[in-house]
A and B are shown apart, each in its own frame.
Chain A
């Protein structure tokens, strides 16, 4: 099904949210935002931390990271780029292959590349963890996983050159772009920027259905009332 306008937050609102009760749905929705940020930023942050900002890591973690990267031939940036590209190749191959052969891709991906690259000392184990975490997280918000891929590789590049500053200036650049987009006349980041206070309740949390008595303001311009406002369930008045 195709709905327009397609806004950024719609990638985080799935239709199952509205069939289940609000509390668990809200948790899942926050989880989706977390997954989105993990899959966009984690390789870049890993590269930035291990290359530029070692002092930010707790000492114990720094030791184990350094021990794991001991003896690997490539800098963190090359590792991240290589694993990112290999993962994209695996993904693409998995889509193209006929189903009976599809199993082979996962075996090759998991065992040959993941396991043996580490044991052969080509790639550090933390990098494999980061890449697989990224890959899994990017499927949580599957509908924008294409932009996630582009952003992830760009951030890795920027982090390799300029560390956290690069990530942040890249984030500013991407935000500038996203803010300037419009989908069928509606700003792409609609309830977040420009802020529409009434619509913000359905962004990070899924509210009770009876409290959603108005339609999104920017989409339903005039026809804004969905149900009458006092539809909260309450006991009947003449209870006997």
Chain B
């Protein structure tokens, strides 16, 4: 076994929530995606059932092969040809890690450090994340456990503190264009989740596998309950048109907070927490890429390839796009949604069909 650690259900919930939330906390990419109007908060709530539907194939696969990792279960289903599919999944996580690294760098160079070259942030974060990956799954998850409550509490605090600047008339009229675009928006939000793959890889290490279904529901509920107020706050404070034109809508909301004359400019504190949260996010994705890669190469230990993969990630994140506009083009709903769906929905669905038809099953 590549990893000896075990994680509890609580740790699973918190680490998944962190990985799902952190990018949204600064970028809020859904403002520029369907439904293109002030009904984004309804989409956020409606994404809850869609999340569940979209995760079903991976969930069924993970449950069917609950003692095997992603690569092993693919190989059981497809035989030796599974290697190619496995390599695609390693690429997926590698790519995702470098996207997140790049987004962290873009945010930091855009707002607090306009004169620093982006490679500094990317390389330093990747180096520290490599240390966390080196320590293993348990360390990353415990780190998530100590940081996640702070981050969740600070987000709630932001909602409370900005409440007085909220102009709810910006959210009217409700359901202006009917329900169809709102549903499309909910679909886009739900399709971006990669938590199913997390579950598929980590399921051999989860302590109480009986509670996984409930934990997933809790994770999606927390996400919907977080995204909906974020949308309300962002659109309520700025209005729809201005929110669309901002690069980091939610961050600018935090910047607007001003209570009395003393509680101002807390955005630097927010950036601080955001960096630590992103660190956990990056370490988790990094870890999953390394673990899957080591599994694919049939290594006994994943540690020798940690730094090698980190180097690839850092350089990939530099080559990924020329600028933030370029990056956002890929991350928009037009591309990333379908790209993610291929890995989180289409391939698992096919694999599940093959497994069910071929009666592939592992008995313990």
Q: Which residues of A pack against B, CB within 8 Å? A: 52-53, 55-56, 162-169, 171-173, 175-177, 179-180, 187, 189, 192-195
Contact = CB atoms under 8 A, between A and B. Distances in A.
B271 interface: yes
A179 B146 contact: yes
B8 interface: yes
Given A52-B113, A194-B8, A175 B145 contact: no
Contacts of B140: 176
15 contacts: A52-B113, A53-B268, A56-B265, A165-B112, A165-B113, A169-B279, A172-B276, A176-B139, A176-B140, A179-B139, A179-B143, A179-B146, A193-B143, A194-B142, A195-B146
B190 to A, nearest CB: 29
A176 B280 CA distance: 10
Nearest to B139: A180
Contacts of B113: 52, 162-163, 165
A163 B111 CA distance: 13
A169 B8 CA distance: 26
A194 B11 contact: yes
B304 interface: no
B361 interface: no
Contact of B143 (A165, A166, A175): A175
Report, as a range, how many residues of chain B touch the other chain. 35 or more
B142 A168 contact: no
B121 interface: yes
A165 B131 contact: no
Interface of B: 8, 10-11, 108, 112-113, 116, 120-121, 124-125, 128, 131-132, 135-136, 138-140, 142-143, 145-147, 149, 265, 268, 271-273, 275-276, 279-280, 283
A170 B102 CA distance: 19
A165 B142 contact: no
| Chain A to chain B: the 8 pairs with minimum beta-carbon distance, closest first | A193-B146, A172-B279, A168-B275, A180-B139, A180-B135, A179-B142, A168-B272, A176-B132
Nearest to B272: A168
Given A163-B112, A176-B143, A193-B145, 18 more contacts: A53-B112, A164-B112, A165-B112, A165-B113, A166-B124, A167-B272, A169-B125, A172-B275, A175-B147, A176-B132, A179-B135, A179-B143, A180-B138, A180-B139, A193-B142, A193-B143, A195-B146, A195-B149
A194 B146 CA distance: 7
A207 B273 CA distance: 29
A160 to B, nearest CB: 13
Contacts of B280: 172
A116 B147 CA distance: 43
Interface centre among B113, B121, B139 (most CB of A within 10 A): B139
B145 A194 contact: yes
Contacts of A189: 142, 146
Interface centre among B108, B140, B145, B283 (most CB of A within 10 A): B145
Contacts of B142: 179-180, 187, 189, 193-194
B128 A172 contact: yes
Interface centre among A53, A179, A187 (most CB of B within 10 A): A179
Contacts of A187: 142
A195 B145 contact: yes
A168 B135 contact: no
A175 B275 CA distance: 13
A166 B123 CA distance: 12
Contacts of B139: 176, 179-180
